[in-house]
Amino acid sequence: MNRPGSTIAAIATAVAADMGSVAIVRISGPQAQAVGRRVFRPASGRHHGWESHRVLYGHVVESASNQVLDEVLLLYMQAPRSFTGEDVVELHCHGGLVCVQRVLEQVLANGAEAAAPGAFSQRAFLHGRLDLTQAEAVAQVISARSRRAAALALAGLDGGVYRRIEVLRRLLLEQLAQMEAHLDFEDDLLPLNPVVVKEKIQTVTEDLSRLVEDSRQGQYYQQGLKIAIIGCPNVGKSSLLNRLSGRDRAIVTDYPGTTRDLLETEIVLRDIPITLMDTAGIRQTGNPVEQLGIARSRQAFTQVDVIILLFDVNLGWSEADQALANEIPEHVPHLRVGNKVDLLNQNKDQSNNTLKFPLAISAITGQGMEAFTNALLNCCGLTDLERLETSLNRRQTSLAQKAIQSLVRLDNTEKNKLPWDFWTIDLRDAVQYLGEIIGQEISEDILDEIFSKFCIGK
């Protein structure tokens, strides 16, 4: 990360050719205003008009040649009334690639150093502008792939995660304080009842467990699901991919073996980001290209969160379908779906098809897709997601689980009727884990690790 007390700068907006009319170069640190004055020439010709939270119009000029690099708006925010809690100067220049890069180069040549990934958010945390959960929520808001993911991230940015964790942490601190007081002043205080203490701790454990369980589901909104569509040739895998994606992503014909490689497409299904993989139909073939596609299909079995095993409902469940089902790893959930229900002959016995496999669809007409979507999300364990208000990220969930494990160990402590100093060991560990979630008890190295995963400019 950047040196403490340094003045840092980076492009704070997305940069792409022909995209965006405005780009922002952000400068933060004790020399932010000095750097800004070196590169910025106000249109009025007067530099004394710099006031906090006031916009100035002018140009960024190369100091050596006096060449105008870009027409800009400058916004100065005096500490502590800024995102980072330091003096901040933002140069709002033209978007694209060239202009914003030239402005940044000039800023770096005049006293600022390039900001490391997450440097601005880390300084906001260190200066008390954000707690750690809010800082992490900033990254989640920016990377959100669905509206629901953005809403959950905004709940964290609003302090939702902090408040829930801090309430539980304080409840544990109260119990820890009482135990330590009894260790020091046992003769002066009324005795503690281990059963009552354990009940209070159990309440915290249950609340944490619910939060962890909710977060496992909530993380799907942020990280999404990877789903493979597999099946024998010509059962309609590509048609289903096209139906779910809403466009003709894959070529569809009546000839087996049309798809000879993995095709991926990104969709959002009920606010869950999903990467769909259309695999080559698995069969015996002498075509080397198709063989390669089939090998990749089998490899995909272990790289996805769930598998859709598609079969032709008109032909019923065949030995080839069962052989394919047997190849699916036990730890990967899968959903068996009969396709081409629109082609069923209504006069023939359908007992082997629609009764044994009631989940039947038509990827062409859309028949049965509502029930299919419900079954798919249920197969992934995604139920009752609308009630989610906050969601922990992976780091926070891991720490919450460690806190739960520490609290669960107190069961044996109580059963064995051990003295209070044994209770305090696990209880203190649980308090520390919850403190790490919200940034109350965390080392500088861990902070650097967390913020290094942010993008530059955050």
Q: Is 329 annotated as a binding residue?
A: no
- 404 in the same domain as 316: yes
Give the model confidence (pLDDT) of 11-26 as tens digits. 998 877 667 789 999 9
Q: Is 439 annotated as a binding residue?
A: no
CATH number of residue 23's parent domain? 3.30.1360.120
Q: Is 242 annotated as a binding residue?
A: no
Q: Is 191 annotated as a binding residue?
A: no
Q: How far apart are the first and last CA of the chain?
A: 13
Q: Is 318 annotated as a binding residue?
A: no
- 179 in the same domain as 106: no
Q: Is 110 annotated as a binding residue?
A: no
- 262 in the same domain as 161: yes
State the helix-helix crossing angle for 160-185 and 132-143, rounded to 10 degrees: 160
Q: Is residue 104 situated within a structural domain?
A: yes
Give the model confidence (pLDDT) of 205-238 as tens digits. 999 999 998 887 777 888 888 888 888 888 888 8
Q: Is residue 458 situated within a structural domain?
A: no
Q: Is 90 annotated as a binding residue?
A: yes
Ranges of the chain whose pLDDT falls below 50:
250-253, 255-261, 282-286, 289-291, 347, 351, 353, 355
Q: Is 265 annotated as a binding residue?
A: no
Q: Is 235 annotated as a binding residue?
A: yes
**What's the confidence (pLDDT) of residue 48?**
64
- 171 in the same domain as 110: no
Q: CA–CA separation, 311 vs 332, rounded Å?
A: 18
**What's the confidence (pLDDT) of residue 187?**
56
Cα angle for residues 107, 112, 114 (degrees, 5° grid): 90
**What's the confidence (pLDDT) of residue 255?**
44
Q: CB 58: neighbour CB atoms within 10 A?
A: 18
Give the model confidence (pLDDT) of 151-197 as tens digits. 888 888 888 899 999 999 999 998 888 877 766 666 555 666 777 88
Q: Is 458 annotated as a binding residue?
A: yes
Q: Is 253 annotated as a binding residue?
A: yes
Q: Is residue 137 situated within a structural domain?
A: no
- 150 in the same domain as 122: no
- 278 in the same domain as 334: yes
Q: CB 403: neighbour CB atoms within 10 A?
A: 28
Q: CB 57: neighbour CB atoms within 10 A?
A: 12
**What's the confidence (pLDDT) of residue 290?**
47
Q: Is 236 annotated as a binding residue?
A: yes
Pair 453, 117: CB distance under 8 Å:
yes
- 161 in the same domain as 99: no
Q: Is 255 annotated as a binding residue?
A: yes
Q: Is 254 annotated as a binding residue?
A: yes
- 152 in the same domain as 111: no
CATH number of residue 209's parent domain? 3.40.50.300
Residue among 272, 229, 226, 244 nearest 382 (CA): 272
- 33 in the same domain as 109: yes
* Number of domains, the chain: 2
Residue among 227, 266, 268, 234 nearest 251 (CA): 234
Q: CA–CA separation, 257 vs 254, rounded Å?
A: 9
Q: Is residue 442 situated within a structural domain?
A: no
Q: Is residue 118 situated within a structural domain?
A: yes
Q: Is 57 annotated as a binding residue?
A: no
Q: Is residue 3 situated within a structural domain?
A: no
- 370 in the same domain as 341: yes
Q: Is residue 77 situated within a structural domain?
A: yes
- 160 in the same domain as 269: yes
For residue 115, give its domain range: 8-131
Q: CA–CA separation, 301 vs 329, rounded Å?
A: 7
- 200 in the same domain as 83: no
Q: Which of 131, 152, 182 is the last residue of a domain?
A: 131
Q: Which two tokens stand for residue 398?
A: 């891991």
Q: Is 281 annotated as a binding residue?
A: yes
Q: Is 257 annotated as a binding residue?
A: yes
Q: Is 326 annotated as a binding residue?
A: no
Q: Which of 74, 109, 131 is the last residue of a domain?
A: 131
Residue among 401, 437, 422 nearest 205 (CA): 401
Q: Which of 71, 99, 131 is the last residue of a domain?
A: 131
Q: Is residue 381 situated within a structural domain?
A: yes
